[in-house]
Structure 1
Amino acid sequence: MLSNHSPASALSAWIDESIIVGKDHPGAYALASVITDVSAVDDLRDTFRALREKKVVRLHWVAESTKRRDLITHTIAELDLVSVVALGKPVHRQKQERARRCCMECVLHELEGYGVTSARLESRAPAQDRHDVRLVDSAREKGLISRDLLVDFARPTHEPMLWLPDAVAGAVTAAELGEPRWLLMLSESIDIRQVKVR
């Protein structure tokens, strides 16, 4: 994938998560990233804005019907994108941030290996964003990523590019819960790394 990528152009990544916690599942944390050429971002934003239903601010996997999930996933599968997902297990309700740390270290390391120069995380609460900044700093100190990889935040209500990893992460956790149809649609462009949550 990324067949149209020129070595002279930059790659960016957009990151979001989906979490399973509950009595009937050991728990899973899917941290999904979608990689694209920076030059393609404006067209991708337009494509996904056009998929919104009337009066809906954003696409959000958990709020979409099965039919709309089919549409969103099909659209992603047809694009020149690569998705890298860290799937962390097991995840206890009280240890979601630990799972996030393990998955974030994995994803950021893999992204730099793909040649990504900038990554945007979905902004959460201010305290959680500060926690993520410390996590990124720690990954640099451990040598997992270099200072060349820029990591920042964006909000899904303003940034349509975050709707893509939201859907990819949702497809991965849906498969974990026994519905693999969307993950199968993405099989040609998705790289899932299994992460042991320690």
Structure 2
Amino acid sequence: MQAFVDENTVRGIMVAAAIADPRALGSARKVLTELRMKGQERLHFKSERDSRRREICSALVTLDVSVYIYHAATLTPKQGRPRCLELLVADLAELSATRLVLEQDDSTMKADRRVLYDAVGKHGLRDRLSYHHLRAKQEPMLWIPDAVAWCLAKGGEWPARVRPLVAKTVDVR
């Protein structure tokens, strides 16, 4: 299994991880890249019109992907992000995941690496789980957690549109 992570900080920090079997990645990436509009480098939910968001959500729920949500509503992002990542690594250990890709945010990379190094070691994954930071335009699978986290944070009609993808929700304290 491989995991692709993005976050939303609208209502406390929410870390979303799209988890997929490596055999499903090729077809998922194809669907995602075909959803881009002409001239678009990537899908970014906060920049899309509602009609496009609906179209994208309809496509996302057809993919062979599960999303795990780690929501630290009562913690600051500086407190919550490390805790969410620690819990994610524990879940990835149970899934025998081999790769973790986080959307690159230069302001969190150093702290992320420290947290991930410790968590990977704690769960005995040093030889099994690699982790990387990539820009969203480099990895279409990062567009999934971006969309799901945006929908869940936005409320209204949006959570129901991505609910079929959400396999696990963790209230992080």
How do residues 148-187 of structure 1 correspond to structure 2 at under 5 angstroms? 148-175=128-155, 179=156, 181-187=157-163
Give 2:8's aligned residue.
18
* TM-score normalised by length of structure 1: 0.80
Give 1:65's aligned residue.
49
Which of residues 78, 81, 103 is equivalent to 2:62?
Answer: 78
Residues 145 and 33 of structure 1, relative CA distance in 2, 3 Å threshold? farther
Compare CA radii of gyration and give the structure with the larger one. Answer: 1
Q: Could you list the runs of 4 or more consecutive aligned residues of structure 1 that deviate by over 6 angstroms after TM superposition?
A: none
* TM-score normalised by length of structure 2: 0.90
Q: Displacement, 1:81?
A: 1.2
Q: Distance in 2 between matches of 1:145 and 1:73?
A: 36
Give 1:47's aligned residue.
31
Give 2:170's aligned residue.
193
Q: What letter is aligned with 1:146?
A: L
Q: Distance in 1 between matches of 2:115 and 2:27?
A: 31
Q: What letter is aligned with 1:30?
A: M
Secondary structure at the aligned position of 2:137 is classed as: coil
Secondary structure at the aligned position of 2:68 is classed as: strand
Q: Displacement, 1:145?
A: 5.9
Q: Distance in 2 between matches of 1:108 and 1:182?
A: 27
Aligned residues: 171
**Bigger mean CA offset, 153-162 vs 107-116:** 107-116
Percent of aligned pairs with the same residue? 26
Larger relative helix fraction: 2
User: Any conservation in 2 of the 1:28–1:88 contact (CA below 8 Å)?
Assistant: yes
Give 2:86's aligned residue.
105
Structure 1 stretches of 5 or more lacking a match? Answer: 1-10, 21-26
